[in-house]
Amino acid sequence: MSDFDFSQPQRQSKTGLVLIFAATVYNFFRAGWVVILAILAGRNSPKLTSLLILGGILLLLLGLGYSIIYYLRFRFHIDEKNREFVVEKGVLSSDVVVIPFNKIQQVKFKRNILQRILNVSSVVVETAGSQGKEVEIKALSQEAADVLADRLMSLSQKVKRTEEDGIETEEAGESFLGTPEWQHKVSLFTLVKLGLTSNYLRGVALIIAFYFTLRQEFRLEDTLPAGVPKEQLLGTGSLIFILFLLFIGMVITVGETVIKYYDLNLKKFSDSLQVEMGLRNNVKVNIKANRIQVMEVVTNPLQKKLDLYKLKLSLASSENELGKSHIRIPGIPPDIVAEIKKYFFKTQVTEKLYFLPNQLYLARRISRGMIPAVVGIGLVFFFREYVSLAYAGILLSVYLVLMTVYNYFYYKSLRLSVSDDFLVKHSGLWIKKEQYLEIYRLQSVSVRQPLWYKNRGVVNLTFHSAGGDLNFYVVKTEEVRPLLNFVLYKIESTTDPWM
């Protein structure tokens, strides 16, 4: 039995006062940092300097007073009689947030560096309302945060089961999570491998563009020492500089990956999957299976060889946040992917009937890829006095060949598979994606047919869910009509709750 009694209004941890004061000081500095720098850079008289110091002290005292009042007036409690979680806050005016238990979707934890130093966590209660994140309690001890989250989720599930079954269930237990059935931790070495194999081509392109921008801005050709052959020095220097920038770019990519996903830990409980990660901002969230709408599995050939896959989970959210509530879990092996699928999906994923895009889709992608080429030709002829036509022609030809080959193989990778329970979309040339959507979670299907599609008998399909859409373009109307009838029948006939 827990020592925490959340039925009575109570405040945050006392260290929360430090967090509130630090946030207040930061907001003061962010609002007036330009003025502060201008004053420090100028020549000020001793009298003015004294006034500035006194003004700064006064602002700090005002910030401290505001922080104390905010801390004292921030109170929260669980009202089981009315089935609500209540938060009271405000300094000059009172603000009361009331969250019904049946609206609570999930409770997650966040910790920045200062919260880690103070050994406290933020508790964020997310709801099914239009605001998404309704309330955040910024300073609770980890033990109190765990108990509060367990209690809220347990009460939420109790109320939802009562509403679905029409029968009052027994009192919610003290612990919602219990003992994990399995867990998986992503090592630091795995995150390094993930960083080295992610966004590689994009990083190279950015680094090369950055280099040539520096070369043009600083006019390297005009600053070479006399008597040094320009071609030899620029050729060697360019290669060394590009390799150096490439190395720095890879280090930055690896660093970003490690900071964002550091200590990534998965724990599977009987009724939820707990995900914790992050070095600078540590986040811990318990994901309920019924909130998952679309699951996306992503990898590339290098990562596949290393057994590195990334999951992107689209969660049910309000209409205002449709498609924005995502959780990314990178660097996991295929056996863990299979375990997560087993938990989230009611039945085993199967693929039976396949649909392929019409060749018109390939023509559309290639025609769109021609637009930069046409613009480039126009610029070349406009500035033909300053540009080598032969050099521009070679670049244009290489671009057209690469663009056509890429779009052809991307087109060949596209397919939509349908079974009794699933829609699965396959796509991607280098970055391979598989998107899974259980049919009973569908809310509607949109069929769009522009005028230039009508004579060719093709349409664009969009499958709508509460966590985002799944699109499949340019398919034959007579081929998808049976699919649409089947999907609409499943939507109308299913009794399973989609969230």
Q: What per-residue confidence (pLDDT) applies to 207?
A: 58
Higher pLDDT, residue 391 or 499:
391
Asked if residue 341 lies in contact with residue 349, where contact means CB atoms within 8 angstroms, the answer is yes
CATH topology of domain 16-165: PH-domain like (2.30.29)
Query: How far is Cα 311 from Cα 186, in angstroms, rounded to an integer?
Result: 13
Q: What per-residue confidence (pLDDT) applies to 322?
A: 38
Mean pLDDT on 392-413: 93
Q: What per-residue confidence (pLDDT) applies to 233?
A: 44
Give 24's contacts (C-beta < 8 A, 6+ positions apart).
Answer: 63, 66, 67
Per mean pLDDT, which range of 313-317, 468-472, 474-478 is the poorest?
Answer: 313-317
Model confidence band, residue 355 (pLDDT cutoffs 50, 70, 90): very high
Quick check: do 16-165 and 288-356+414-493 share a fold? yes
Query: How far is Cα 296 from Cα 278, in angstroms, rounded to an integer?
Result: 21
| Domain ranges (residues) in the chain | 16-165, 188-261, 288-356+414-493, 359-412
Query: How far is Cα 234 from Cα 153, in angstroms, rounded to an integer?
Result: 64
- Tell me how crowded residue 244 is: count the other CB atoms within 10 A of its CB: 12
- Tell me how crowded residue 104 is: count the other CB atoms within 10 A of its CB: 21
Query: How far is Cα 159 from Cα 67, in angstroms, rounded to an integer?
Result: 36
Model confidence band, residue 466 (pLDDT cutoffs 50, 70, 90): confident
The chain-wide mean pLDDT, for the chain, equals: 82
Q: What per-residue confidence (pLDDT) applies to 303?
A: 92
Q: What per-residue confidence (pLDDT) applies to 323?
A: 42
Q: What per-residue confidence (pLDDT) applies to 318?
A: 45
Q: What per-residue confidence (pLDDT) applies to 433?
A: 95
List, for residues 162-171, the tens digit of each pLDDT value: 765 555 544 4
Beta strand 282-287 with 104-111 is: antiparallel
Higher pLDDT, residue 30 or 399:
399
Residue of 89, 95, 185 whose CA lies nearest to 138? 89
Mean pLDDT on 318-334: 70
Higher pLDDT, residue 472 or 497:
472
Helix, strand or coil for residue 104?
A: strand
CATH topology of domain 288-356+414-493: PH-domain like (2.30.29)
DSSP 430-457: SSEEEEEEEGGG--EEEEE--HHHHTTT
Given strand 182-185, what is the order of strands in its sheet? 133-141, 120-127, 104-111, 282-287, 273-277, 265-268, 182-185
Q: What percent of the chain has pLDDT over 70?
A: 80
Helix, strand or coil for residue 460?
A: strand
Does the pLDDT of residue 320 top 50, yes or no?
no
Mean pLDDT on 82-94: 88
Query: How far is Cα 414 from Cα 426, in angstroms, rounded to an integer?
Result: 6
List, for residues 267-310, the tens digit of each pLDDT value: 998 888 999 998 888 888 888 888 888 999 999 999 999 999 99
Does the pLDDT of residue 32 top 60, yes or no?
yes
Q: What per-residue confidence (pLDDT) applies to 497?
A: 65
Query: How far is Cα 229 from Cα 237, in angstroms, rounded to an integer?
Result: 12
Model confidence band, residue 203 (pLDDT cutoffs 50, 70, 90): low
Q: What per-residue confidence (pLDDT) applies to 182?
A: 93
Report residue 95 CA to chain centroid gap: 30
Does the pLDDT of residue 177 top 70, yes or no?
no
List, for residues 36-61, the tens digit of each pLDDT value: 666 666 666 777 777 777 877 888 88
Mean pLDDT on 240-264: 81
Query: How far is Cα 132 from Cα 113, in angstroms, rounded to an integer?
Result: 25
Query: How far is Cα 369 from Cα 385, in angstroms, rounded to an integer?
Result: 27
Asked if residue 263 lies in contact with residue 228, where contact means CB atoms within 8 angstroms, the answer is no
Distances (CA, A) of 205 to 193, 208, 242, 249, 465: 20, 5, 11, 10, 36
Q: What per-residue confidence (pLDDT) applies to 407?
A: 95
Does the pLDDT of residue 33 top 80, yes or no?
no
DSSP 235-248: HHHHHHHHHHHHHH
